[in-house]
Amino acid sequence: MRAAVLRQGQMTVRDDVDEPVPGQGEVLVQVEACGICGSDLHFVHHGAAMMEVGARMEGTPDLGRTPPDLSRDVFMGHEFCGRVLDVGPLTDGPAPDTLVTSVPIMVTATGIDDLAYTNLRPCGYSERMLLSAMLTLEVPNGLPATHAALTEPMAVGLHAVNRSGLHAGDGAVVVGCGPVGLAVIAALRLLGVAPIVASDFSPARRNLAVTMGADEVVDPRDESPFAVWSRVGGSRSMATFEAVGVPGMLDEVLRVAPAQSRIVVVGVCMQPDAITPFYGIGKELNVQFVLGYDPTEFAASLHSIAEGDIDVAPLITAQVGIGDVPRAFELLADPEEHCKILVVPSR
Ligand SMILES: [Zn+2]
């Protein structure tokens, strides 16, 4: 079958990938849609460095994951939605033809494998893939697969907001309106946080920020979002979401964020980065780093989209077939053109 894989630092289309066969506890799905994630773009260019940093890190639970070998083909695509084709032997799973999504992991006899960056089995940039039957969630309310595929990135925003400690009536500044910042804005809006001030250099992204629920948007070349905040938010309790993830950004946020506020770091900066601790000390700032989501947040995200509480349609700027994945990865470099590109294998 067909799949787009990472080979020698480039996305490559293969037509000779072995058909996955569901074993016990697994279901085979036809991938209906899979979003291209910014982390995937980053992994293509900086995969080796990302794995090196990960390998140095201590204190994380050992889940028995096998890190990908970059000298072999790496399967990617972790924002997927698929239709069940077959259920493995002795497996209690969703009936064939059910539309499902899942957190991008597989529970196996030896531990947990990820369905994000792996040599072991096809992920979402493939015609078909396996899922753990016990982790599948049925897509409710006739929600189209193209919208259900946004469950994963929207869950990232929900998790960041849950970790922020904000309540309805508090305010927020969101720095950076890429897919992650936009997911944060949607989750803030749903919680009843207001005002939401969002900043981005790109007019297209600022427009999307308004669509997703930002009250004020600003081009940081014209004015600091914190200047806007002090006008519209005043002394209200607030948090800042750093959703850019480039060196220097965290230090700048520390420098200008209101005293006693919380900064949620949701942008992924992979390089070492200097900060000025005294900004944080002098204002007693609280810095919270976040990653991913838990399964209940993933399910809540699917529910919010299916109930119409979050409209993800404006975020989808293109749909491409598997053959166009390499080109789509190049297109996503331009923030003015695209937000979320979906891979739709039937195209
Ligand atoms: Zn992602």
Assess whether pLDDT exceeds 90 at residue 65: no
- The pLDDT of residue 221 is 97
Query: pLDDT above 70 covers what percent of the chain?
Result: 100
pTM of the entire structure? 0.96
Assess whether pLDDT exceeds 90 at residue 185: yes
**230 CA distance to ligand 1 middle (Å):** 32
**152 CA distance to ligand 1 middle (Å):** 7
Q: Name the phi and psi angles at 30, rounded to 5.
A: -90, 120
The least confident of 100-104, 161-165, 326-330, 336-340 is 336-340
Ramachandran class of 260: left when φ > 0, alpha when ψ lies in -120 to 50, beta otherwise: left
- The pLDDT of residue 64 is 74
CA distances (Å), 283 to each of 87, 227, 280, 286, in order? 56, 17, 5, 9
281 or 64, greater pLDDT: 281
Neighbours of ion ligand 1 (CB under 5 A): 37, 39
**106 CA distance to ligand 1 middle (Å):** 16
Nearest of 340, 297, 309 to residue 208 by alpha carbon: 340
Query: Could you report the per-residue pLDDT of 101-156, keeping only the tens digit for each?
Result: 999 999 988 889 999 999 999 999 999 999 999 999 999 999 999 999 999 999 99
Determine the average pLDDT of the residues in 212-225.
Answer: 98
- The pLDDT of residue 270 is 85
**244 CA distance to ligand 1 middle (Å):** 14
Asked if 244 and 18 count as a contact pair (C-beta separation under 8 A), the reply is no
Residues in the chain: 347
Q: What is the largest CA-CA distance in the chain?
A: 62
3-state DSSP assignment of residue 114: strand
What CA–CA distance (Å, rounded) separates 237 from 335? 31
pLDDT band at residue 337 under the 50/70/90 scheme = confident
CA dihedral 109, 113, 118, 120 (to 10 degrees): 10
